[in-house]
Homo-oligomer: A and B are copies of this chain.
Amino acid sequence: MEFSSRQKQIIDASIELIARRGIQELTIRNLSEMVGISEPAIYRHFASKTEILLALLGFFGEQSEKTFKEIASRKASALNKLQAVFEHHFRYFGENSSFSAVLFSEEIFRNDSALSSKMFQIMQGARSHVLGFVREGQMSGQVREDIPADQLSLILIGALRLLVTQWRLSGFSFELVEEGGRLWEALLALLRV
C-alpha cells in the first residue's frame, strides 16, 4: 500500500488525535483542522472514515510485520530475539507514545467488521512471531520446556501489553524503556531453563 503525502499526513493526524484525545475525538472536523484543510478535502484522499482507520491499521501492521521479520532473520539466539522484540516495542512506544493508544485499544474498532478483522490479523501476526521465537528457544534448549510454548507467548505478550497500558493510563509518568528493561529481566529469569 502506497500512500500520498497528504494521506500520510491524514494518518499521522489520526494517530495523534486518538492518542491525545481519544477515539471519540477522531472526527472529520478535528482531523481536517489538524491537517489544515477543509472537511470535504479529506474525502479527496479517503473514501470514508473507516478507510482512514483501515489505512492506519495497515500502516501499523506493515511496520510490525517488517520488524518481526527483520528480527527473525538475525543470526542470534531465540532469547536474544525475544529481547530484541521487547526492546524494540518499548523503545518504539516510548518514542511514539501516541501509537500505543491505538494499538492496544481494540475496543475502538469493534463496530466495523473490516476494522476489527484487520486488528485481529495484526494481533495474530505478533502472536505467531513470538510463538515462533519461544519454540525456537525451547528447541535450542534455551527456554524451559515444562510449559507449553503458547502459554509462554501469552504470558510474554500479556506482560508487555499491560506495562504499556499502565504507562499510558498513568499519563506516561515513568520511563517506559527502563521499566521495560526490568520487566524483561524478570521474564528472562522465568523463561530460562
A159 touches B169 (CB 8 A): no
Main secondary structure of the interface of A (DSSP, over half): helix
Pick from A46-54, A57-65, A184-192 the stretch touching chain B: A184-192
A82 within 8 A of B: no
A151 touches B183 (CB 8 A): yes
A33 within 8 A of B: no
Pick from A1-9, A17-25, A87-95 the stretch touching chain B: A17-25
> How far does the Cβ of A35 sit from chain B's closest Cβ, in whole Å?
19
B111 touches A186 (CB 8 A): no
Contact residue range for chain A? 35 or more
Q: List 15 A-B contacts (CB under 8 A).
A: A21-B111, A22-B111, A106-B169, A116-B169, A123-B169, A147-B186, A148-B186, A152-B186, A154-B159, A154-B163, A155-B155, A155-B190, A158-B161, A158-B162, A162-B162
Chain A residues close to B by CB (< 8 Å): 21-25, 101, 105-108, 110-111, 116, 119-120, 123, 146-148, 151-152, 154-155, 157-163, 165-166, 169-170, 182-183, 185-187, 189-190
